[in-house]
Amino acid sequence: MQIERAAYAFQMEGNPVSCEELTQGHINKTLKITTDAGKEYVLQMINKYVFRNPIRLMGNISAVTEYLRQRVEDKRQAQHFILTYKGTYYHRDRNGEFWRMSDYVGGFALDTPETPEDFYQSALAFGRFQQLLSNFPAEALYETIPEFHNTIDRYRQFRASLELDPCDRVAQAKAEIAYLLKQEKIAGTLQLMRESGELPLRVTHNDTKLNNVLLDKETRKALCVLDLDTVMPGLSVHDFGDAIRYGAATAAEDETDVDKMELDLDLFRVYTEGYLEAAPSLTDKEVEMLPMGALIMTLEVAVRFLKDFVDGDLYFKTSYPEHNLIRARTQIKLAMDMQAKWDDMNRIVAETAAKMRKQ
């Protein structure tokens, strides 16, 4: 493959000798650049249709990663972005496309945990991310996706779509709609607590899936958190909750047999232990609300899937007409299982927090 011209805008060690496309991501074009000095880099073209303000996006990422790199012992625990010769963390080419470059770290990522230890390591990574940034001024960051976890507003948009019913699909989802509307009050709990200041504003990742944690190939220990495009001000309990929603579920989001979907309490405990171990600066109220974070994130995602089904599948990619409806059903089943296990979830968090305080 020909060396991508944009690579030469960055302050690499040595001259590029090879260029290999990496296909793991689905949003940004990603290339691996190797130089004659033996250095390896990741070169990405930022998808400006998804991220409308690449300059402010890179302002967020560079501020957070440079802050992290001053606070980690092993530099592999924080991504390192490379400056251009103009002294910026992005390069705009003659076609108006935006590029960025970071060091390539030779670890690996998993889509789902192969062992409970894998999930524990992801909890350590995201907990450490939260802890290291606990004194970072979150309000200084650009809000990449405004009102992203404002569940009150998500419900407002959901009701608007139900009223319009543009594709005549509401009738196919009456039971699912009824359940989600019944949860509307509880679903707004965290947003109200954010507005009142009862929960502190934090630097949040907002995509806390296992595949955004880089693991060491030899030790299988967590190295760093990847994919910082959605880093912005938010609530720690949302990050925790989304990790649980995705990683402690017993079935995939688009599993057609909803009876397979449950919350794995053992994995819930494993993640809680890792997260609280790595993030001791969380307030007592944040710790108390961790189960609520899991429930509300599950309800929020269910609302988003069902809204998109009603709208005609405009946002999420689908493989068949009922795909988003199926996704909504699995999230509803997961939320219902969380509600059935609510006392267990709260007990696990309380026991774990008490154990951490004694250490």
* CATH numbers and ranges of domains, the chain: 5-103 (3.30.200.20), 116-358 (3.90.1200.10)
Average pLDDT of every residue of the chain: 95
Q: Which residues pair with 203 in a beta bridge?
A: 233
Q: What is the pTM of this model?
A: 0.92
118 contacts 210 by C-beta, under 8 angstroms: yes
Sign of the torsion angle spanned by Cα atoms 310, 311, 317, 318: positive
**Cα-atom radius of gyration of the chain, to the nearest Å?**
21
Per-residue pLDDT band for 112 (boundaries 50, 70, 90) equals confident
Q: What percent of the chain has pLDDT over 90?
A: 89
Q: Which residue has the tokens 């502190």?
A: 200
Is the pLDDT at 22 greater than 90? The verdict is no
What's the half-sphere exposure (Cβ side, CA atoms, 13 Å) at 74? 9
For residue 239 the two structure tokens come to 């990050």
Residue type at 211 in one-letter notation: N
How many Å apart are CA 254 and CA 52, to the nearest integer?
29
- 143, 183, 145, 146: which is closest to 306 by C-alpha? 183
pLDDT digits (tens, 9 = 90+) for 266-303: 999 999 999 999 999 999 999 999 999 999 999 999 99
β-strand 91-92 against 202-204: which pairing, if any?
Answer: unpaired
pLDDT at 36: 96
Q: Which of 50-54, 78-82, 148-152 has the lowest mean pLDDT?
A: 50-54
Residues 6+ apart with CB under 8 A from 154: 187, 300, 303, 304, 307
Per-residue pLDDT band for 25 (boundaries 50, 70, 90) equals low
Per-residue pLDDT band for 106 (boundaries 50, 70, 90) equals confident
pLDDT digits (tens, 9 = 90+) for 225-250: 999 999 999 999 999 999 999 999 99
Q: Which of 168-177, 252-261, 329-338, 350-359 has the lowest mean pLDDT?
A: 350-359
